């Protein structure tokens, strides 16, 4: 846990690099695409969207939203990642 807090503290103080952001976008896109390979996973994905948001957006739309995320936006919210807030966010 302490190593995680150290990494988060580094992110808060220094932000993340363009390379780290691109790797994260790639990871999230790949994970999302791999996560809905079977018909039951796809049904779960679509049903969860509809139940939570009363709308369904396509996989391509989600990936476009990932790609549109800027380094400034990500680094702008890093200040919220204090040790106290991490505990709060882990409960959600």
Place of tokens 């779960």: 44
Query: What is the spatial distance between Cα 42 and Cα 84, in angstroms, rounded to a whole number?
Result: 36
SS3 70: coil
For residue 50, give its domain range. Answer: 2-91
Question: How many domains does the chain contain in total?
Answer: 1
Nearest Cα neighbor of 29 from 3, 2, 68, 56 is: 68
- Give the CATH number for residue 23: 3.30.830.10
Assign 90 a pLDDT band (cuts: 50, 70, 90): low
Neighbours of 12 (CB within 10 A): 15
User: Which pLDDT tens digit goes with each residue over 33-68?
Assistant: 888 888 888 899 899 999 999 999 988 999 999 999
């Amino acid at each position: 846990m302490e190593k995680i807090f150290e990494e988060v503290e580094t992110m808060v103080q220094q932000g993340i690099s363009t390379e780290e952001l691109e790797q994260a976008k790639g990871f999230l896109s790949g994970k999302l695409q791999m996560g809905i390979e079977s018909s039951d996973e796809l049904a779960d994905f679509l049903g969860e969207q509809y139940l939570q948001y009363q709308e369904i957006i396509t996989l391509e739309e989600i990936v476009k939203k990932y790609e549109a995320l800027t380094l400034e936006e990500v680094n702008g919210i890093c200040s919220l990642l204090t040790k106290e807030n991490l505990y709060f966010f882990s409960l959600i």
